[in-house]
């Protein structure tokens, strides 16, 4: 692992720790930090990242582990769904690592992260709405699954963002927002 990969790994792992104290803020922060590697790779010149997809999926396990710790504090169906979604994604990541085929990630979308944010949101803003029944959880789970599948397709199926550098996207957006 070169200097750039180590620095990115430290940032990603440190960013995942906040969820252990603040479930909602920490989960949103960890997902935002998950994107930071795209910027760090563009801004640093310390050796590059040799296999970004594999590197990213491995580092995802850091925030997923902290999300799982949070979910294990919950009870009932919210906890059980979280555990099942964690295992589901873990299987997908392992299959991806063995095959190298990004389409595998569409078959095993990371619904787990969206579920954790959603339940953390409910815990924070509507604690009396918990525990959920399966009937209550199903519409949210279906909606989150559809959103995440679209997200996975954009990233891994269509690879719509592969030709862009994160820094350039922000720069172009800024130019669009501030014409003249």
CB atoms near residue 173 (< 10 Å): 10
As a dihedral over the C-alpha atoms of residue 122, residue 150, residue 164, residue 66, rounded to 10 degrees, the angle is 40
Question: Where are the chain's structural domains?
Answer: 3-177
Per-residue pLDDT 10s for the chain (180 aa) are 888 888 899 999 999 999 999 999 999 999 999 988 777 877 777 877 788 888 888 999 999 999 999 999 999 999 999 999 999 999 999 999 999 898 999 999 999 999 999 999 999 999 888 888 889 999 999 999 999 999 888 877 777 666 666 666 777 778 788 886
Give residue 54's pLDDT. Answer: 85
Sign of CA dihedral 158, 100, 52, 83: positive
Structure pTM? 0.86
Give residue 178's pLDDT. Answer: 86
DSSP assignment of 25-56, as one string?
HHHHHHHHHHHHHHHHHHH--SS--SSHHHHH
Q: What single DSSP character describes residue 162?
A: T
Joined tokens for residue 49: 């990242």
Contacts of 83 (CB under 8 A, 6+ apart): 68, 71, 72
Give residue 91's pLDDT. Answer: 97
Give residue 53's pLDDT. Answer: 83
Question: What's the rounded Cα separation, in Å, for the pair 78 and 2?
Answer: 39
Give residue 165's pLDDT. Answer: 66
Give residue 162's pLDDT. Answer: 66
Give residue 161's pLDDT. Answer: 65
């Amino acid at each position: 692992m070169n200097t750039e990969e180590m620095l990115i790994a430290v940032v990603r792992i440190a960013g995942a720790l906040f969820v252990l104290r603040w479930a909602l803020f920490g989960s949103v922060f960890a997902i935002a930090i998950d994107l930071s590697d795209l910027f760090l790779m563009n801004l640093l010149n310390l050796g590059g990242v040799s296999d970004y997809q594999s590197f990213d999926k491995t580092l995802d396990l850091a925030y997923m582990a902290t999300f799982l710790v949070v979910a294990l504090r919950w009870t009932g169906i919210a906890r059980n769904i979280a555990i099942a979604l964690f295992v589901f994604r873990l299987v997908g990541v392992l299959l991806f690592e063995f095959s190298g085929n990004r389409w595998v990630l569409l078959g095993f979308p990371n619904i787990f992260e969206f579920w954790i944010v959603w339940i953390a949101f409910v815990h924070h803003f509507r604690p009396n709405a918990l525990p959920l029944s399966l009937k209550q959880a199903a519409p949210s789970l279906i909606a989150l699954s559809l959103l995440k599948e679209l997200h996975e397709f954009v990233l891994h199926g269509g690879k719509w963002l592969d030709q862009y550098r994160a820094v350039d996207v922000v720069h172009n957006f800024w130019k669009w927002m501030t014409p003249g």
